[in-house]
Chains A and B, each alone.
Chain A
């Protein structure tokens, strides 16, 4: 057992000597929350990621159940919050909406994902 623990400690020590780095950007949370139902249409969708993003290569779209785009096409990464991605929305009638995102973290790793939220159906 002591040998196993020493081996794990050696592995952790070896890797802790690595220079500071940034990893894949995964979705941490969102507003409206993933899979949520909200009573009123939100004016904006905001996504928070686990790593900082490359703004020029990070995008998000929002579509309705018919596949029609309902966002304003103004996706942006705020300068003071580089792990955040926002996009404005048109006025949304009740329904289910699909958020699709594709981002590139600052170390050039791309990730993507989708989720839905509902408006006024609860």
Chain B
């Protein structure tokens, strides 16, 4: 063992002061719960407050029942206000192609959200977050489907890694799941005589973390970029609970993969309609997602409450 040590006490005290000022605790940017890293997922809302930005996310959706097809390019920003609270804001440019009519493009509705980190349980690799998301009416082009009413969506987002199961089951430990349970409440009951239903919205991401294998289970010789891959399957469903006929559930199934690097991640998923009502055929989505807390660790990557 080499005897040279960092023993500069001034540096240690300076860092201690910095740590106290920044109040490092369980609420860290990035999806960390103990030794578990949760990547930002494309379809499922993340169960953690963060300083991150998707720039951009591009999707070609499967054709709908009427064979119209929507392309989106969107930007989403997550920003911590305090270590345990955050906001999200996003918008998208949409392009709609439909048989027999000219294609049309325009901005989608503005999306915002307020978030509170309910808990982070490191030993059990568990996260919980309460959120209130808002899709704002009259903020996008109605020709591409933007609503003329506002929708409020309270949600509970959670994450759970399975690294705390017995070590005798080593290759189950890299599994993790994140999920959303929420409701959508339109502030307007009908639009041009068509009902706007209240919905139950739920979705899950099932992940298998190669980084977790390498760090905490067994070094099987994976090296970057393969050791940074996280295969996953995401599912999302919306079920009307009022002002709509029964059996109107729609949803998608999205198998894909995420590569998570030090400063950004890249994700790609197929989009498969979960039922005929959702659409037919296939689509795809890709996302470039940056970790602002790692790129700008001393400025905008910190919670706003720690900027001064």
Contacts and interface: CB of A to CB of B under 8 A. Distances in A.
A41 interface: no
Given A15-B263, A35-B217, A116 B4 contact: no
Interface of A: 3-4, 7-8, 10-12, 14-15, 18-19, 21-24, 26-27, 29-30, 33-36, 43-44, 50-51, 54-57, 74, 76-82, 86, 88, 104, 107-116
Given A34-B215, A109-B28, A21 B5 contact: no
A54 B37 CA distance: 20
B35 A114 contact: yes
B58 A108 contact: no
Interface string B1-38: 11011110001100110110010100010101011010
Contacts of A78: 2, 4-5
A80 B58 CA distance: 44
B57 to A, nearest CB: 9
A23 B294 contact: yes
Interface of B: 1-2, 4-7, 11-12, 15-16, 18-19, 22, 24, 28, 30, 32, 34-35, 37, 55-56, 58, 73, 122, 167, 170, 211, 214-219, 262-264, 286, 288, 290-291, 293-298
A114 B297 contact: no
A8 B58 contact: yes
Nearest to A25: B262
Closest A-B pairs by Cβ, 5 of them:
A35-B218, A56-B12, A23-B294, A55-B6, A11-B55
B215 A51 contact: no
Contacts of A110: 24, 28
Given A14-B55, A108-B297, A51 B262 contact: yes
Contacts of A50: 262
Nearest to B294: A23
A107 B34 CA distance: 18
A3 to B, nearest CB: 7
A21 B35 contact: no
Contacts of B291: 23
B216 A115 contact: yes
B294 A30 contact: no
A121 to B, nearest CB: 14
Contact of A8 (B11, B24, B288): B288
A57 B19 contact: yes
A43 to B, nearest CB: 8
Given A80-B4, A112-B34, A11 B56 contact: yes
A114 B73 contact: no
A66 to B, nearest CB: 15
Contacts of B216: 27, 34, 113-115
Given A8-B56, A24-B262, A35-B218, A108 B18 contact: yes
B1 A88 contact: yes
B32 A107 contact: no
Given A4-B58, A35-B170, 19 more contacts: A7-B58, A8-B286, A8-B288, A15-B264, A18-B296, A22-B294, A22-B297, A23-B262, A24-B262, A26-B211, A29-B219, A34-B218, A50-B262, A76-B2, A79-B4, A79-B6, A81-B2, A111-B35, A115-B215
A78 B30 CA distance: 28
Contacts of B34: 112
15 contacts: A4-B58, A7-B56, A15-B263, A18-B295, A19-B296, A24-B30, A30-B219, A36-B218, A43-B1, A57-B16, A78-B4, A86-B2, A109-B28, A112-B34, A114-B35
Nearest to A54: B15
Contacts of B6: 55-56, 77, 79, 82
A15 B290 contact: yes
A57 B288 contact: no
